[in-house]
């Protein structure tokens, strides 16, 4: 009885946050934050009432999250949908930040890799049990890729100005080579990448050690892996060098006015079709839905999403002869398994194959789970593969 009181008291203390902090969160997000965050805290305290989530190691938080995701079910004892799982994780992350005063980034964080994989496994189980399919994206068809190039260079009809076509071509080139594809569910690191695309002073042209010109979105230093067949290389620091399509990029930059609002790389084309605005920039909505707009402008066979650009890039790199591991280095994917999954999606468009990844790339470190049940421990050894990328 005393342990239950301790658990309830600890939970109540955690949610006593100043009104000023909570006022920074939207009402709907605040409700989700309290609901999912409190539920996770109660779960942790049911295992160990002495745990202080403000101070315990992130690896321990990851283990509690992994077991928590493993036990997640609705009040009707059904599995949660993938979108609900994302909301639960977002609520817990916000709870750590606002309520506990401990900012954590759960998606894409290597420390929380195993718990994110568990979340992905639950999404896959939902798809299997409900008979539904988890959405994934496919690369652009080769015919649509050609139509897109025709639109950029002006050889196709459509009535769009040269300024608009060159800008769309430059934006596509940066998305394609540097992998910066803003989504409607942006995380912090994606927002930083978005800022690099918006500010023109971040795009720098340089000469490498062999006298070849390249472009980068950040200061490039140190050793880099030369992957010329793909037109891009990534150095040890994670920076990307773009070697192809530079003339098209320069043609666009030369048309920009000397000064733009916030030094933007993408000011809005003028309404009269001549030049670009010096006060209005392309908004975030245009960036987020860029491929949808361009699909209509270029009259493609279907509406593509920004994520399709990355899939197209991976397919093109594979067809140029790069291995799965080399593609991983260029695109920044976490492992060769992700590359193979992307190539599997593109098999309907072109027969492409990827080299087998090293076992090290797919290794998952085992962490003690003594506080958890035998059923969960047996589940840890499963191969968590999912087309729904939760990481």
Q: Tokens 């992994």 label which residue?
A: 66
Cα-based distances in Å from 32 to 41, 141, 187: 14, 40, 18
Tell me what percent of the chain is helix, strand and coil, each rounded to the nearest 5: 55, 5, 40
Q: What is the mean pLDDT of residues 198-214?
A: 86
Determine if the pTM surpasses 0.85.
no
375 with 314, same domain: the answer is: no
**Residue 308: pLDDT band with limits 50, 70, 90:** confident
263 with 349, same domain: the answer is: yes
CA distance 118 to 169: 39
Give a three-class secondary structure readout of 265-292. CCEEECCCCCCEEEEEECCHHHHHCHHH
76 with 221, same domain: the answer is: no
Domain-embedded: residue 385: no
Least confident of 296-300, 329-333, 379-383: 379-383
pLDDT (0 to 100) of residue 281: 86
Domain-embedded: residue 390: no
pLDDT (0 to 100) of residue 238: 42
158 with 216, same domain: the answer is: yes
Q: Return the closest-CA partner of residue 67 out of 46, 87, 97.
A: 46
CA distance 24 to 99: 12
Whether the predicted pLDDT of 68 surpasses 90: yes
> Percent of the chain scored above 90 by pLDDT?
26
Q: What is the mean pLDDT of residues 52-67?
A: 93
188 with 60, same domain: the answer is: no
36 with 107, same domain: the answer is: yes
183 with 263, same domain: the answer is: yes
Whether the predicted pLDDT of 373 surpasses 50: no
Domain-embedded: residue 389: no
Domain-embedded: residue 387: no
Please provide the average confidence, as pLDDT, over all residues in the chain. 74
Chain centroid to CA 117: 15
222 with 165, same domain: the answer is: yes
pLDDT (0 to 100) of residue 316: 87
Q: Tokens 């990481």 label which residue?
A: 391
pLDDT (0 to 100) of residue 218: 64
Q: Output the domain CATH number for residue 164.
A: 1.10.443.10
128 with 161, same domain: the answer is: no
Contact 267/200 with Cβ under 8 angstroms?
no
DSSP classification of residue 199 = B
Q: How many CB atoms lie within 10 A of CB 132?
A: 11
Q: Tell me the pLDDT tens digit for each residue of 100-116.
A: 889 999 988 899 999 99
178 with 326, same domain: the answer is: yes
302 with 191, same domain: the answer is: yes
Domain assignment of residue 288, given as a range: 142-357
Domain-embedded: residue 124: yes
Domain-embedded: residue 40: yes
Domain-embedded: residue 77: yes
Contact 119/69 with Cβ under 8 angstroms?
yes
Partnered with residue 276 across adjacent β-strands are: 269
Whether the predicted pLDDT of 272 surpasses 60: yes
Contact 349/315 with Cβ under 8 angstroms?
yes
**Residue 151: pLDDT band with limits 50, 70, 90:** very high
77 with 225, same domain: the answer is: no
CA distance 53 to 75: 26
Angle between helices 307-319 and 324-331 (to 10 degrees): 140
Domain-embedded: residue 71: yes
Whether the predicted pLDDT of 364 surpasses 70: no
Count of domains in the chain?
2
What tokens were used for 109? 């964080």
Burial classification of residue 208, based on how many CB atoms lie within 10 Å of its CB (0-12 exposed, 13-18 middle, 19 or more buried) = middle
Contact 108/391 with Cβ under 8 angstroms?
yes
Contact 134/387 with Cβ under 8 angstroms?
yes
Number of H helices, E strands in the chain: 16, 7
Q: What is the mean pLDDT of residues 331-346?
A: 72
**Residue 389: pLDDT band with limits 50, 70, 90:** very low
SS3 303: coil
């Amino acid at each position: 009885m005393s342990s239950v009181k301790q658990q309830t008291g600890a939970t109540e203390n955690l949610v006593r946050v100043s009104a000023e902090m909570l006022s920074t969160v939207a009402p709907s997000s605040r409700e989700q934050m309290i609901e999912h965050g409190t539920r996770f805290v109660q779960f942790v305290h049911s295992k160990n009432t002495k745990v202080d989530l403000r101070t315990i190691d992130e690896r321990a938080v990851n283990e509690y999250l992994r077991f928590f995701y493993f036990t997640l079910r609705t009040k009707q004892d059904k599995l949660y949908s993938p979108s609900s799982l994302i909301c639960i994780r977002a609520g817990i992350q916000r709870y750590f930040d606002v309520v506990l005063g401990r900012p954590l980034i759960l998606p894409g964080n290597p420390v929380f890799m195993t718990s994110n994989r568990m979340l992905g496994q639950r999404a896959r189980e939902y798809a299997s049990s409900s008979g539904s399919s988890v959405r994934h994206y496919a690369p652009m068809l080769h015919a649509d890729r050609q139509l897109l190039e025709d639109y950029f260079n002006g050889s196709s009809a459509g009535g769009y100005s040269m300024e608009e076509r060159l800008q769309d071509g430059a934006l596509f080139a940066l998305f394609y080579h540097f992998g910066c594809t803003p989504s409607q569910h942006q995380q912090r690191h994606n927002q930083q990448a978005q800022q690099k695309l918006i500010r023109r002073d971040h795009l720098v042209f340089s000469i490498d050690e062999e006298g070849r010109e390249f472009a980068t979105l950040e200061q490039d230093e140190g050793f880099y892996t030369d992957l010329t067949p793909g037109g891009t290389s990534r150095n040890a620091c994670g920076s990307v060098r773009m070697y192809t399509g530079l003339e098209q990029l320069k043609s666009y930059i030369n048309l920009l006015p000397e000064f733009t609002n916030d030094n933007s790389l993408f000011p809005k084309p003028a309404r009269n079709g001549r030049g670009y605005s010096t006060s209005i920039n392309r908004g975030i909505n245009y960036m987020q839905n860029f491929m949808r707009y361009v699909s209509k402008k270029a009259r493609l066979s279907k509406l593509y999403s920004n994520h399709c650009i990355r899939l197209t890039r991976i397919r093109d790199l594979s067809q140029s002869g790069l291995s799965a591991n080399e593609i991983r280095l260029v695109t920044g994917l976490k492992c060769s398994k992700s590359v193979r999954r992307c190539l599997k999606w593109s098999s309907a468009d072109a027969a492409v194959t990827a080299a087998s990844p090293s076992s090290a790339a797919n290794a998952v470190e085992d962490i003690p789970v003594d506080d958890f049940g035998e059923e969960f421990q047996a589940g840890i050894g499963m191969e968590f593969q999912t087309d729904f990328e939760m990481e």
